[in-house]
């Protein structure tokens, strides 16, 4: 796509629809749970508010039994709505720049993104949630209807069951309130953005609430030929049926259509392309016949809560998530057809030393991932003598299915990364075949957690103990629906933490946890190509401290996280490699975090992470003892907001990120260089307009630095993706 009159027409149509919607909503900003409307008999446990956390700092969290961030014995990072708005965040990669423990991992432009937490890639099958329920992660989750996004760093076995060891992401949706706002935006490449947020509460007791979020974006990509668009809509509903019964429902749908961009690969298997020889605007293997990738995603959930008494309540939640991907790309991969590679000078799964690469016509329509989950939790308090217990007992049922197409993946020609005008090739004459079920995965879980108050023995002492008994059943099928893998695992996943609060504002903790993660998949060039290994165990020990310093939450943690090492092991098998699980990968790290209000005029979000990530005992000496792939030793993140005291409503915004060098191969023969990124912006909300109008300008990568944003793996193959050049965004938000 190019910038055309159609784009302006779409925006005009969106504005017309939004104007009609705004006209039909009563004025005011009263939330559904306004205490003035409820009386003193409505318990706090059913209050739903439309307020947001201030100072870039959240107080509550969904993790660890839904407590406070300060008191939860785990490393939790929260991106608040204020921070999302000021940074004009539109996708997951915009959020993770606020936490130094999180980085991108195989995140091509125009596709859904993956991330790595504490150096371990997130498993998209189980690593993303909305309101505590797992969603199909192969989707670009929209942010317009999210109040905050929480990142649990480290093992999350009790919270989520079978999940990658790095952590978990939970998107928390906005709740109904009397609100109506319109946001219009653009960027320096001509992209257009429009969004509306409409809410209302009604009924004699204000017991009903609805909230609608709608957005349209014309995406002007920084990569040539990679433009696209997305449409999004969501509806949230709350019903306070009685003083003790509440029902919440959420529905969201997004359609994203954009051309996908292939990543680079190591030249000759040993060299990262020099940054001054490649451009982020250049699309490798661009072909006129390719279609954009289309991703349709639907997420639906509902929750019922009943309050038995002040001490006991029941939560029942159900969710359905489905994403369907039409994958189309002229894919740049390897150099099997290039003479130098055919002669053995370069492994065929890398680019040739001179920059030559092969081009494949890849088409895989109607690839579907579907998640269904039901969960019931009973929470309450009891006492055994002088010792108090905060209990959570429950059960969960989860099913994930993957349906894929007998895809086309055919070689059509070879090109060179230094060629300014991509060569044109004819597409493959073949067409995709039938769809077939690839995976049926089911988890059944029994959950038990107990927060034991030992204050009668030692003031401020608490023991947190939890276990999730997981029953995992998986079947993987081939195109003829023959079973190629049948996995049955039954394991308890324990978690134990000792918490000490010498002061109300200070929390010290030490924890140990065990997790279970799904096995990796063998690459196409291994003898056991496409084989998915059985699930494997992981372990974590962590010691941390959190301190609330007058509204600024400070945190520090030291962790050791270990899991079995999986890789394509060189051997004398048919293809020369077999994908195996052998040895251990261990990540030792230190995290430092700060978020909140520093002074009346200054608020910030800051973090620094230091990680030593190595593998040992792998059976392949070249892979032992050096920093793991795509994991920098040092990463920092800083974002600050300073309100100018003598200029009404004007604030200066500034950010800085540093990422150390990263190994671009498992044997660390090549490294992507370290880089600094600087961001800047302005926010203007004049008090003369009662803060109803907010103007925001943000400039990311202010110095237009060229850098490799990630050098991670996908399905066993290593890719390098360039980061975005200087990007300026401007939005106007008006609230009534």
C-beta of residue 223 within 8 angstroms of C-beta of residue 109: yes
Number of domains in the chain: 1
In this structure, how many other beta carbons lie within 10 angstroms of the beta carbon of residue 576? 14
Write the pLDDT tens digit of every residue in 624-663.
999 999 999 999 999 999 999 988 899 999 999 999 999 9
Q: In which band, very low, low, confident or very high, does the pLDDT at 530 lie, cut at 50, 70 and 90? A: confident
- Say whether pLDDT at 183 is over 90: yes
Closest CA to 15 of 27, 3, 4, 7: 7
How far apart, in whole angstroms, are the C-alpha atoms of residue 462 and residue 394? 22
Q: Hey, which residues does 517 pair with through a beta bridge?
A: 536
Between 36 and 308, the more confident residue is 308
What pLDDT, on the 0 to 100 scale, is given for residue 246? 98
Task: State the CATH number of the domain containing residue 295.
Answer: 2.40.170.20
SS3 call for 598? coil
Residues 6+ apart with CB under 8 A from 329: 259, 260, 262, 290, 293, 362
C-beta of residue 724 within 8 angstroms of C-beta of residue 700: yes
Integer angstrom CA distances of residue 563 from 253, 611, 616, 622, 663: 36, 15, 11, 19, 19
Look at the block and give the residue holding tokens 């997790």. Answer: 515
Integer angstrom CA distances of residue 428 from 225, 290, 367: 21, 11, 20
What pLDDT, on the 0 to 100 scale, is given for residue 483? 78
Q: How many residues make up the chain in this entry?
A: 736
How far apart, in whole angstroms, are the C-alpha atoms of residue 164 and residue 145? 26
- Say whether pLDDT at 9 is over 70: no
Average pLDDT rounded to a whole number, residues 232-241: 98
Between 18 and 387, the more confident residue is 387
- Say whether pLDDT at 55 is over 70: no
pTM for the whole structure = 0.91
Average pLDDT rounded to a whole number, residues 277-298: 96
- Say whether pLDDT at 35 is over 70: no
* Percent of the residues in the chain that have a pLDDT greater than 70, as a whole number: 92
Average pLDDT rounded to a whole number, residues 6-30: 39
3-state SS, 399-431, equals EEEEEEECCEEEEEEEEECCCCCCCCCCCCCCC
* 34-38, 174-178, 389-393, 621-625: range with lowest mean pLDDT: 34-38
Residues 6+ apart with CB under 8 A from 375: 132, 133, 315, 316, 317, 318, 394, 395, 396, 397
C-beta of residue 523 within 8 angstroms of C-beta of residue 87: no
What pLDDT, on the 0 to 100 scale, is given for residue 38? 38
Look at the block and give the residue holding tokens 């998640």. Answer: 371
How far apart, in whole angstroms, are the C-alpha atoms of residue 490 and residue 486? 14
Average pLDDT rounded to a whole number, residues 671-692: 94
Average pLDDT rounded to a whole number, residues 140-166: 93
CA 666 to chain centre: 24
What pLDDT, on the 0 to 100 scale, is given for residue 41? 39
C-beta of residue 533 within 8 angstroms of C-beta of residue 476: no
What pLDDT, on the 0 to 100 scale, is given for residue 598? 93
- Say whether pLDDT at 10 is over 90: no
What pLDDT, on the 0 to 100 scale, is given for residue 44? 40
Residues 6+ apart with CB under 8 A from 613: 119, 585, 586, 587, 588, 589, 627, 628, 631
Q: Hey, which residues does 654 pair with through a beta bridge?
A: 640, 680
When the pLDDT of each residue in the chain is averaged and rounded to a whole number, the result is: 90
Angle 206-209-213 from CA coordinates, rounded to 5°: 150
Closest CA to 138 of 114, 162, 120, 116: 114
- Say whether pLDDT at 54 is over 80: no
Between 44 and 133, the more confident residue is 133
- Say whether pLDDT at 32 is over 50: no
- CA pseudo-torsion sign 324, 257, 335, 423: positive
Q: In which band, very low, low, confident or very high, does the pLDDT at 476 lie, cut at 50, 70 and 90? A: confident
What's the domain range around 270?
5-735
How far apart, in whole angstroms, are the C-alpha atoms of residue 659 and residue 100? 9
SS3 call for 23? helix
Torsion of CA 597, 599, 605, 609, to 10 degrees: -110
Average pLDDT rounded to a whole number, residues 63-67: 72
What pLDDT, on the 0 to 100 scale, is given for residue 65? 67
Structure tokens that stand for 322 in this block: 């489905």
What pLDDT, on the 0 to 100 scale, is given for residue 401? 95
Residue-wise DSSP of 64-132: HHH-BTTTSSSEEEEEEHHHHHHHT--SHHHHGGG-TTEEESS--TTS---EEETTEE--TTTSEEETT
Structure tokens that stand for 127 in this block: 């690593």
Average pLDDT rounded to a whole number, residues 22-36: 37
């Amino acid at each position: 796509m190019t910038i055309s009159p159609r784009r302006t027409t779409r925006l005009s149509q969106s504005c017309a629809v939004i104007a009609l919607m705004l006209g039909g909503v009563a004025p005011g900003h009263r939330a559904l749970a306004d205490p003035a409307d409820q009386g003193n008999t409505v318990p706090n446990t059913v209050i739903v508010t439309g307020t947001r956390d201030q100072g870039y700092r959240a107080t509550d969290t969904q993790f660890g039994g839904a407590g406070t961030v300060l008191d939860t014995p785990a490393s939790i990072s929260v991106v608040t709505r204020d921070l999302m708005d000021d940074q004009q965040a539109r996708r997951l990669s915009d959020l993770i720049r606020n936490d130094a423990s999180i980085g991108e991992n195989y995140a091509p432009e125009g596709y859904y993104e993956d991330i790595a937490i504490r150096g371990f890639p997130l498993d998209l099958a189980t690593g993303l949630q909305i309101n505590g329920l797992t969603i199909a992660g192969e989707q670009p989750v929209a942010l317009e209807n999210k109040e905050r996004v929480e990142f649990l760093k480290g093992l999350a076995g009790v919270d989520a069951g079978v999940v990658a060891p790095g952590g978990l992401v939970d998107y928390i949706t906005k709740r109904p309130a009397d609100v109506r706002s319109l946001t219009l935006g653009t960027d320096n490449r001509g992209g257009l953005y429009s969004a509306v947020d409409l809410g209302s509460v009604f009924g004699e007791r204000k017991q009903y609430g609805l909230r609608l979020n709608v957005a349209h974006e014309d995406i002007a990509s920084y990569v040539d030929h990679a433009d696209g668009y997305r449409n999004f809509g969501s509806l949230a509903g709350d019903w306070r049926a009685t003083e003790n019964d509440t029902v919440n429902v959420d529905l969201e749908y997004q359609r994203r259509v954009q051309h996908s961009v292939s990543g680079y690969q190591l030249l000759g298997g040993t060299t990262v392309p020099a940054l001054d020889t490649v451009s982020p605007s250049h699309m490798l293997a661009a072909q006129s016949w390719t279609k954009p990738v289309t991703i349709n995603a639907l997420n639906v959930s509902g929750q019922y809560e009943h309050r038995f008494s002040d001490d006991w309540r029941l939560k029942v939640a159900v969710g359905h998530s489905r994403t369907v991907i039409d994958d189309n790309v002229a894919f740049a991969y390897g150099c099997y057809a290039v003479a130098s590679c055919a002669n053995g000078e370069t492994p065929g799964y890398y680019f040739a030393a001179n920059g030559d690469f092969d081009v494949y016509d890849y088409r895989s329509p109607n690839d579907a991932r579907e998640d269904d989950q039901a969960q019931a939790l009973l929470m309450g308090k009891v006492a055994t003598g002088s010792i108090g217990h905060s209990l959570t007992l429950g059960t969960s049922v989860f099913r994930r299915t993957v349906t894929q197409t007998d895809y086309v993946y055919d070689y059509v020609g070879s090109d060179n990364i230094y060629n300014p005008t991509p060569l044109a090739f004819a597409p493959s004459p073949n067409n995709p075949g039938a769809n077939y079920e690839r995976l049926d995965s089911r988890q059944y879980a029994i959950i038990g957690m107990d927060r034991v108050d030992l204050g009668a023995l030692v003031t401020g002492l608490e023991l947190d103990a939890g276990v999730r008994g997981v029953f995992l059943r998986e079947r993987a099928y081939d195109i003829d629906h023959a079973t190629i893998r049948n996995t049955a695992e039954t394991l308890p996943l324990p978690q134990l933490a000792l918490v000490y609060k010498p002061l109300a504002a200070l929390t010290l903790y030490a924890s140990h946890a065990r997790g279970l993660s799904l096995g990796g998949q063998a690459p196409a060039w291994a003898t056991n190509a496409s084989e998915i290994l059985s699930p494997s165990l992981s372990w974590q020990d962590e010691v941390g401290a959190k301190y609330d310093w007058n509204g600024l939450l400070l945190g520090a943690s030291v962790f050791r996280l270990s899991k079995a090492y999986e890789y394509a092991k060189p051997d004398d098998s048919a293809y020369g490699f077999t994908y195996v699980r052998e040895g251990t990968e261990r990540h030792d790290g230190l995290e430092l975090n700060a978020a909140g209000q520093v002074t009346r005029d200054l608020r910030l979000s800051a973090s620094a992470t230091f990680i030593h990530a190595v593998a040992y005992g792998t059976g392949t000496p070249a892979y032992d003892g050096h920093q793991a792939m795509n994991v920098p030793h040092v990463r920092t993140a800083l974002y600050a907001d300073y309100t100018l005291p003598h200029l009404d409503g004007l604030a200066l915004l500034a950010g800085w990120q540093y990422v150390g060098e990263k190994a671009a191969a498992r044997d660390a023969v090549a490294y992507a260089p370290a880089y600094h990124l600087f961001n800047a912006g302005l926010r203007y909300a004049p008090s003369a307009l009662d803060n109803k109008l907010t103007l925001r300008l943000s400039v990311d990568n202010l110095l237009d630095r060229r850098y490799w944003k990630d050098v991670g793996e996908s399905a066993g193959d290593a890719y390098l993706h360039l980061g975005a050049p200087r990007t300026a965004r401007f939005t106007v938000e008006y609230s009534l």
